[in-house]
Amino acid sequence: MMRSATKAKTIVRSAHKTTAHGRAPKMDARVSVADKFLLPTYKRGPFVLTHGRGCYVYDAAGKKYLDFLGGIAVNALGHAHPRIVKVIRREAARAIHFSNLYHNAFQGPLALKLSQWSGMDRVFFSNSGSEAIEGALKLARLYGRNPADFPSSAAQKHRILAMDNSFHGRTFGAVSVTSTEKYRLPFAPLLPGVDFVRFNDEDDLESKFDNTVCAVLLEPIQGEGGIHPVTEAFWNRARALATQHDALLIADEIQCGLGRTGRNFGYQRFASKPDIVVIAKPLAAGLPLGAILASSLVAERITPGLHGSTFGGGPLVCATALEFLNIVEDSKLLENVRARGAELREGLIALAGKFDFIREIRGEGLMIGVELSVEGAPLVAEALKQGLLINCTHDFTLRLLPPFIVTRAQVREFLKTFELVLASITSTAESSAAAKKSENTPRLARSAAR
Ligand SMILES: Cc1ncc(COP(=O)(O)O)c(C=O)c1O
């Protein structure tokens, strides 16, 4: 036991020593131990990211990457933002955790700020997006119960309508409202009472709605599903049907919320509000924190003991989240998101004119999907080689989620490198087509000669 702890320390230290001299180890020992000891839930390349600054990250060999994925919408302030570093240092030395049995100095002020940003009345803090979704589903089921029947009767009003092409996380409840089969089927049977509606199909929504529905859940912009925004007509119908049937409208803003679209929240594109908003990703600038924001209508149903969390909303994460929201306001980052987003989209549209395998550019602000008619994985790999972090979702859509602090020069740098990435795929396709042709020519010639 003692010996393996010492060995682990040596692996970390020796790898740091090598990188301090700027030399890459042949095979980074940290990659080998990760490959051997971690559950194989992710496919990762054989390199280790060690640090970041602003919109760039660096690997152990000293290679620099322009980060246009932002930790999948988490690193909205990039890396090592001085104000975030300062708050974490200061508060870590004061208190990392007490317990939710007591007030801490930051939960209340953060809840107030989130209420101002969202127009919601009450907040519950969790540790992740999935966990916030779980809580929202519990609130929906609670809302569907007649309080007079508490606590034992099964609720007649228990159905949850979720969307095709949705993604809400990896826990059991979250997987139950996620439509993609590869995430669901291996774990069935899942939570009962969930039905899926065709996204943006108002008639389908209406046909599945009745008084047994306690909630309709949607992402204002579907993220993992390939950056698909909800239409205004669908949103309005969902709001109207939820009100008509006394059900809740739940907006999953985990990926698209907290400034990503150039607005505080994605639903603020519309005139009406949801009853519950679920957030996480950038909230505490990279520290784990999620939240459920609820209207008073929903909050009225909650009493002490019905829901809770050991870690959720500790003083360190809440202080950091408060600083994140203050930085977004002080530095006018929503304006930057809108301006840089427009430049990025304009540049991508120009590239679509050059590369006919780009089918569509979708999204809002700094949440952009580039849909291709070819598989995206080789482009992600090529981008990595060229020092660019992007990702591909739903096989054919490249996803761009750069930090809110991205500069005009960095957008230009991205577009320049991205063009090289696209061109390399074209030339690979052309050369493999040429190789196929030359492979075929002698064969045809031979068969003709026979
Ligand atoms: C829209 C949406 N909902 C829920 C989740 C799950 O959040 P977490 O990974 O923090 O559990 C994600 C994560 O990607 C998401 O994009």
Token pair recorded at residue 177: 């409202």
Task: Please indicate whether residue 253, judged by its CB atom, sits closer than 6 Å to ligand 1.
Answer: no
5 Cα–ligand 1 center, Å: 33
Whose alpha carbon is nearest atom 8 of ligand 1? 129
Local confidence band at 447 (pLDDT 50, 70, 90 cut-offs): very low
pLDDT (tens digit, 9 = 90+) per residue, 381-403?
999 999 999 999 989 999 999 99
Of 426, 343, 431, the C-alpha closest to 382 is 426
User: Is the pLDDT reported for residue 115 higher than 60?
Assistant: yes
Contact 135, 348 (CB under 8 A): no
- pLDDT at site 426: 77
CA of 74 to the centre of ligand 1 (A): 10
Task: Flag whether the pTM goes above 0.95.
Answer: no
Helix axes 107-118, 315-330, angle to 10 degrees: 40
State whether the beta carbon of 286 lies less than 6 angstroms from ligand 1. no
Q: Separation of 183 CA from ligand 1 center, angstroms?
A: 13
- The verdict on whether omega for the bond into residue 189 sits within 30 degrees of 0, i.e. cis, is yes
For ligand 1, atom 4, name the residue with the nearest CA: 168
Q: Per-residue pLDDT for 108 more than 90?
A: yes
Q: Distance between CA 192 and CA 15 in Å, rounded?
A: 49
225 lines ligand 1 (CB under 6 A): no
Q: How confident is the model at residue 413 (pLDDT cuts 50, 70, 90)?
A: very high
How far is the centre of ligand 1, averaged over its atoms, from the C-alpha of 379 (Å)?
24
pLDDT tens by residue, 201-226: 999 999 999 999 999 999 999 999 99
> pLDDT tens digits for 226-251?
999 999 999 999 999 999 999 999 99
Q: Give dist(CA 56, CA 66) in Å, integer.
A: 5
Residue 328 predicted with pLDDT over 50: yes
The answer to whether residue 265 scores a pLDDT higher than 90 is yes
